With several copies, the nearest count.
Chain A
Amino acid sequence: MDRIYFDNASTTPIDKRVLDAMLPYFSDFFGNPSSVLIEEGQMPGKAIDEARERVAELIHAEKGEIIFTGSATESNNLAIKGLALANRSKGRRIIFSDIEHFSILNQADFLTDLGFQIDYVKVDGYGIIDMGDLERKVTEDTILVALIHGNLEIGTIEPIEEVARFLKKRGILLHSDGTGTCGRIPVDVKELGVDTMTLSAHQINGPKGIGALYIKRGTRLTPIIHGGFQEMGYRAGTENVPYIVGFGEAARIAREEMGERMAHLTMLSKKLREGLASSIEYIHFTGHPEKRLPGHVSFWIEFVEGESLLLWLNLNGIASASGSACASNMAAEDEGGLKASHVLTAIGVPPEICHGSITFSLWKDNTVEEVEYVLSVMPGIVKRLRDMSPLYENYKKTGARTI
């Protein structure tokens, strides 16, 4: 049997149409778009312009408000560092939500070193921002808030509009990481009211190695990569024309097919979730039950460790993720790198449980048959691991639960 890929929160396979759109820009139109005066540079320049338009359309922005970067990570870095540095004279405090991706959170030391202070705003048990806490954390000196739009580990979608309204009144900027949402659910940056928003191509069947940043017209932002005059001066470096074209095509397809995809995914994830709930005891679903990304099913299972579960799923031909989808800790140099998922900790899951979490992230090509197969193997794997677990043995003897 083919592999079952339920790890679309880590990355998605490239769409054949996207690859086909890209290929001519490797060979026939390989020129440097900065070489505007020679034929070789002209088609690539035109193609970038069109792709920018496509990405803008996906989130109801204007073409001039979209710039391309090397990754969603870079977009998040450009937004936070760029807005912080451009607004240094107004204040030095920045607020991150507790469930931001590492590409936001791990900027903290760098920013602190430059004289900024980072405050953190809490989320509730579903991962939704705590507005009361935000109100308490905001100070006269606060210039910027980062709040993720859709969290890829627990699926929760944040109330960006409400937060934007709150912040606007106080003259505080809002950056939102739309890596998990742009192209997956309808996004209208004007309605959301964000100042900057990150987009990723490889989350929507585009290539890995390109991101985009929406920068609301008139927003001042200091570049972090300096050099030639590309991307309207916000990001230097010879343009990655094939990937920009691919991102444009992926955005176009995502916009056109979004409705049917969402319906399909809602059906699949309902089936998966209900199937798991009815066949596995002591399973705990994470994130918000309704305000969540379509096709996203995340949970932890008592008495079962997540990595072992993930490995057994893998051996059964199923790809999933445990802990943070994008930042496996395995590459870490030592044990110090093995931290419990900060997202799960933030929603109140005890650290010793976090490693037991699994994220199934489904996407357009997944099928009912795949869901059924996963449902058919899960109970056996869980039983096998529980039989091996001293925690489960203890529970049977004493009735002691993990929580």
Chain B
Amino acid sequence: MAKGPYSDIVMDHFMNPRNMGEIEDADGVGEVGNPACGDMMKLYLKIEGDRIVDAKFKTFGCGAAIASSSMTTELIKGKTIDEALKLSNEAVSEALGGLPPAKRHCSVLAEDALRLALEDYKKKKGLA
């Protein structure tokens, strides 16, 4: 198949998203949206101690948004909160084999969702 604007990794995560779904009793939930782009991302975290033991997402958005969400959950599972907070959108984009310039904001969206979910967790725990 001829190559489109998306890398093979992006297409793989788009076609087979990892960790898609909800966590009913999530410890932290982050939801972000970009109305101009039309994307909406919701990230659910299960945290034990200071470690992310499970992560799931739901995303309304383009291929890049779905793949960024999927990749983000993969990258943070098993990480500590501090490690997860260091995850940059560039790292997500890089792990995906790059994103088209016009779609870089999708990885930013994932980073934002993660930050919000962790804040939500801290708030719930009375840590923030």
Contacts and interface: CB of A to CB of B under 8 A. Distances in A.
The answer to whether A and B belong to the same complex is yes
B66 A333 contact: no
A398 to B, nearest CB: 14
Interface centre among A308, A329, A354, A390 (most CB of B within 10 A): A390
Interface string A18-36: 0000000000000000001
A353 interface: yes
B76 interface: no
B interface, by DSSP: helix, strand, loop or mixed?
mixed
A390 B41 contact: yes
A230 to B, nearest CB: 15
B78 interface: no
A337 B102 contact: yes
B39 A305 contact: yes
B14 A351 contact: no
Contacts of B101: 332-334
A281 interface: no
Contacts of A262: none
A352 interface: yes
B105 interface: yes
Interface residues of A, number: 40
A335 B105 contact: yes
Interface in B32-75: 35-42, 58-63, 65-66
Contacts of A385: 60
A252 B61 CA distance: 42
Contacts of A334: 101-102, 104
A43 interface: yes
B4 A36 contact: yes
A226 B56 CA distance: 45
B2 interface: yes
A332 B38 CA distance: 17
A315 interface: yes
Contact of B4 (A42, A304, A332): A42
A202 to B, nearest CB: 20
Interface in B72-107: 100-105
A340 B65 CA distance: 16
A36 B6 CA distance: 9
A351 B102 contact: no
Contact of B60 (A37, A39, A329, A391): A391
B23 to A, nearest CB: 12
Interface in A37-71: 37-39, 41-43, 46
The 8 A-B pairs of least Cβ separation, nearest first, read A307-B62, A355-B38, A390-B42, A42-B2, A389-B60, A390-B58, A332-B102, A352-B35
Given A308-B63, A332-B101, A389-B59, 13 more contacts: A39-B4, A46-B2, A305-B62, A305-B65, A307-B61, A329-B102, A330-B103, A333-B101, A335-B105, A338-B102, A355-B37, A355-B38, A389-B60
9 contacts: A41-B4, A307-B62, A308-B61, A334-B101, A335-B105, A340-B36, A351-B38, A388-B60, A390-B42
